[in-house]
A and B are shown apart, each in its own frame.
Chain A
Amino acid sequence: MADTLLRIENIKKFFHVKRGFPVAKTMTVRAVDGVSFEVKRGRSFGLVGESGCGKSTLGRALLRLVEPDSGSVTFDGQDVLSTNASDMRALRQRMQIIFQDPYSSLNPRKRIGAALVEPLLVHGLADKRQAHERVLKLLDEVGLPPDAANRFPHEFSGGQRQRIGIARALTVGPELIVADEPVSALDVSIQAQILLLLRELQESHNLSFVFISHDLGVVRFFCQDMAVMYLGRIVETGPIPRIFEEPLHPYTHILRDASPVPDPRQSRKFLHIEGEVPSAVNPPSGCHFHPRCPYAADICKKVSPDWHQVDAERGVACHLFDTGNTGPDYPKR
């Protein structure tokens, strides 16, 4: 078993927002509400969920791009949240992020070469001449021509920009990359190019990924483990493909079956799904998923389910699973 590179324990991040008119009331958005998981070295951990489930906030919180309210993040044995500013800078060389839309994270008036050289200089990893050579090598690694260094962000297509985003993350030689929906904005043929590139780089650089996505197909392809989030909480974790073959949480089951697959023989049946994702401002009592759950019992409305570690690899937060009272209809393949 590979060793643990990143351990997240009971991370919480609440936002306070003012809503309402004419008298605004302060409300609390429980974006991430007590989340724990582990990422093994050299592996990819998928974070899956629908919009507003808190997966992006979690990705930023573990890098301290937003400061978590409580909990702990341990990276290679080091406590990330109590690290001071100068040590944090050193740590950031080892933990990087790729965004969904690399265009908005690039300075439109800066040539790609200059943008990629900057982190090397900031972190004191190279002098100017070395930095330039490193950048050319990086561009080649991500499949861009050397003359890309002299061009501006607007001159590139979406797929090429994501290659630039990947090159930027790689400049400082990270061990962990948080990839936040890195292929969601791309056409499928380009998406495949980027996924293959990431996989190749993962091997050559021994990278670990926290891979945030709403696309189960992409996660199944790229990751070895995953967690499903719903309204700020993890409802299920497990290895791939076991979690797809036998989902334990009703939400995982529904998410899997709602994901369209390119096969008309399988896709014709639409499952009946109740309701919409409720607001994280005022989440339902008990198990957050109970209003949409076809198996919800009384206890689900009142009590938030405890985490149930099924075996060394799998866990689920569901009362029905706890009590074994899953009935004949309970999701099984």
Chain B
Amino acid sequence: MHTMPNSIQSSESNPDIILDVRKLRTSFRIAGEWHAAVRDISFTLRRNETLALVGESGCGKSVTALSVLDLVPSQNGRIEAEQIQFNGRNLLGLSEDEMREIRGNRISMIFQEPMTALNPVLSVGHQVAEALLYHRDMNKEEANRAALELLDQVKIPSASSRFKEYPHQFSGGMRQRVMIAMALACRPDIILADEPTTALDVTIQSQILALLGELKRDTGMSLIFITHNLGVVASIADRVAVMYAGNIVEIADVDSLFAHPTHPYTEALMRSIPRSDRDTETLHSIPGQVPPISRMPDGCRFAARCDLARPICRKLDPALQQINAGSTHEVACWVRGDHDLTAIEDRANG
């Protein structure tokens, strides 16, 4: 029904692609029934690229990151996919031991609230050194020395005197720097950053974003940056995937996305942000709310809140498709996508 765009077709042949996720579906059991929180999403991440996953609460952006690292609780959660190809190797079906070799080593993660992610009874220096002791053939002294360098690298002032201090002695911004140092410790290929600046004040947020940008440039790593803030996306992303109710509804280069938001949801989101750099006459609010996971409608999940919705939108689920031939800008929308709508509607009607 739709053609696979070039960016998705070619992973084995393209050494530039570090992560290639195809048809990822992560479901959770709620009251005895399985519901998909992430529904058949596909995306690729290039080397030294920052891909932002953006969307509102519950859209599945965090679950996507957790699924890549197989960190979804196995009792009530289930990950299915065609592949999660990392560096030419499929992560699906790896044993827990094999995954442990990847986590924190080749792919690491930064969380929103560093205080809950750091161990309150261990010194920060110890926690940064821990990953090195585990994954690298280093003795304690070497690991400590490397950890100190890392704390310097993330610009913690007077790192050597603060090495033995505990998380509670650090401010929110400094704790996030410690988290970044931990994530960086093994020189990973990818860092998954889940709302890393959401809990921070804007001046501190600006410092952390600048730091992540610098580290990405200097180390050549790739970044998946999860956020709900389109302003942050604009300042850090190379490419952006907009998620809604478990689907990627639009994916594009950052400039293209902001210049031509094509999915009605993306467009509405952009128009609902009051801006600090210019007067906003009226805000465009999106009526209604995201449907609950247990009562997702058929067809496009945004249709009920969409001004442009047509009968087909409530019946059939649109797939991601290039907005025009050869473009890397893709959208999942019957109305705004490059479709022959009449033909599709005729076919759907019988």
> Measuring CB to CB, which residues of chain A are less than 8 angstroms from any residue of chain B?
50-51, 157, 159, 187-193, 195-196, 214-218, 220-222, 241, 244, 254-256, 258-268, 270-273, 276-277
Contacts and interface: CB of A to CB of B under 8 A. Distances in A.
A192, A254, A260 pick with most chain B CB within 10 angstroms = A260
Contact of A221 (B231, B254, B274): B274
B230 interface: yes
A122 B273 CA distance: 39
B279 interface: yes
A45 B287 CA distance: 28
17 contacts: A188-B230, A189-B56, A189-B286, A192-B283, A196-B282, A215-B276, A217-B273, A218-B274, A220-B276, A241-B279, A259-B277, A260-B202, A260-B205, A262-B230, A262-B273, A264-B254, A270-B235
Given A196-B285, A261-B277, A277 B234 contact: no
A222 B274 CA distance: 9
Contacts of B277: 244, 259, 261, 263, 266
Nearest to B202: A258
B266 to A, nearest CB: 11
A259 B56 CA distance: 19
A207 B285 CA distance: 22
Given A188-B269, A261-B231, A195 B203 contact: no
Interface stretch (B23-31, B103-111, B132-140, B206-214): B206-214
Interface in B277-299: 277, 279-280, 282-287, 289
A277 B171 CA distance: 9
B66 interface: no
Given A187-B57, A217-B280, A262-B273, 7 more contacts: A50-B203, A190-B285, A260-B202, A260-B205, A260-B232, A264-B235, A270-B206
Contacts of B7: none
A interface: dominant SS: helix
B304 to A, nearest CB: 13
B120 to A, nearest CB: 15
Interface in B156-215: 171, 173-174, 201-207, 209-210, 213
Interface in B205-241: 205-207, 209-210, 213, 228-235, 237
B313 to A, nearest CB: 18
Contact of A220 (B233, B254, B269, B275): B275
A217 B289 CA distance: 22
Nearest to A158: B57
B16 interface: no
B279 A268 contact: no
Contacts, number: 134
A193 B290 CA distance: 14
Contacts of A51: 201
B260 to A, nearest CB: 12
A189 B204 CA distance: 25
Nearest to B286: A189
Q: Which of B213, B237, B276, B289 has the most A CB atoms < 10 Å from its CB?
A: B276
Given A258-B203, A258-B206, A270-B213, A196 B231 contact: no
Contact of A264 (B171, B204, B234, B268): B234
B151 to A, nearest CB: 16
Nearest to A257: B206
Contacts of B254: 264
Most buried by B among A50, A215, A261, A271: A261
Contacts of A215: 274, 276
A188 B272 contact: yes
A187 B286 CA distance: 11
A190 B305 CA distance: 12
Interface in B239-275: 254-255, 258, 268-270, 272-275
Interface in B304-332: none
Contacts of B206: 258, 260, 270-271, 273
List of 5 A-B pairs having minimum Cβ-Cβ separation, nearest first: A260-B231, A221-B274, A267-B235, A270-B210, A216-B276
Contacts of A259: 202, 231, 276-277
A43 B201 CA distance: 27
Contact of B275 (A195, A196, A261): A261
A261 to B, nearest CB: 5
Contacts of A258: 202-203, 205-206
Considering residues A157, A195, A217, which has the most beta carbons from chain B within 10 angstroms of its beta carbon?
A217
B277 to A, nearest CB: 5
B234 A260 contact: yes
B275 A192 contact: no
B202 A214 contact: yes
Contacts of B284: 192
Interface in B5-58: 56-57
A196 B273 contact: no
A189 B285 contact: yes
Given A187-B228, A255-B202, A262 B283 contact: no
Interface string B64-84: 000000000000000000000
Contact of B283 (A50, A195, A261): A195
Given A50-B202, A273-B206, A262 B234 contact: yes
Nearest to B57: A187
Given A193-B285, A195-B283, A220-B275, A262 B270 contact: yes
A327 B207 CA distance: 25
Contacts of A260: 202, 205-206, 229, 231-232, 234-235
B204 A276 contact: yes
A264 B174 contact: no
Contacts of B289: 157, 159, 190
B255 to A, nearest CB: 5
Nearest to B231: A260
A192 B286 contact: yes
A222 B268 CA distance: 19
